[in-house]
Amino acid sequence: MPLLMKSFLIILLTLIAAIASLAQSNRIGAFKFEKRQGTHNALVVFHTRAFEPSKHKVKARNYQTIVDGRFAHGTDGNVPNIEIRSIKLSLDGTEVAIPRKLYSDCFEPSLDGRYLAIRFGRNFQSVIISMSGSDGAGTYKVVWRFQKNGYHSRSFSQDF
């Protein structure tokens, strides 16, 4: 392979790696969303971080990724890049504890207004949050219902 072609390939691969790194860093950090309706207010903050495989048990089974014994939503058989570190919720000024088990298997979250929506439940005692996530092929949508009384639930839809 001529030297010019090798140099071009090295530059191209370096550029691709830099772009991928930049795109990933835009998805790491704290992402705040707020919903107001009348006198009611919901504030949710997602904290994300780079996924560190050495801190988890990662396995592949039937072309699916399993992280810490659970199906990894948002991956298409790949090791995740981004994980949700925490979700903090304040509903009308009351802090609502969100158990890690409700989001620890949700990877590659899309945390912007196009892929995340918040609405209040009946009587303003809960908030419903829908979010999409994907590594490009492993698309999913999760809908959480977080209630002031701590009785939370979630549901998923997967695009295969």
Tens digit of pLDDT for each residue in 123-147? 999 999 999 999 888 799 999 999 9
What is the distance between the alpha carbons of residues 114 and 33, in angstroms, rounded to a whole number?
12
pLDDT tens-digit readout, 10-23 = 554 444 443 443 34
Q: How far apart are the first and last CA of the chain?
A: 40
Q: Please give the backbone phi and psi of residue 39, each rounded to the nearest 5 degrees, phi first.
A: -90, 0
| pLDDT over 70 percentage in the chain | 83
What is the distance between the alpha carbons of residues 121 and 89, in angstroms, rounded to a whole number?
14
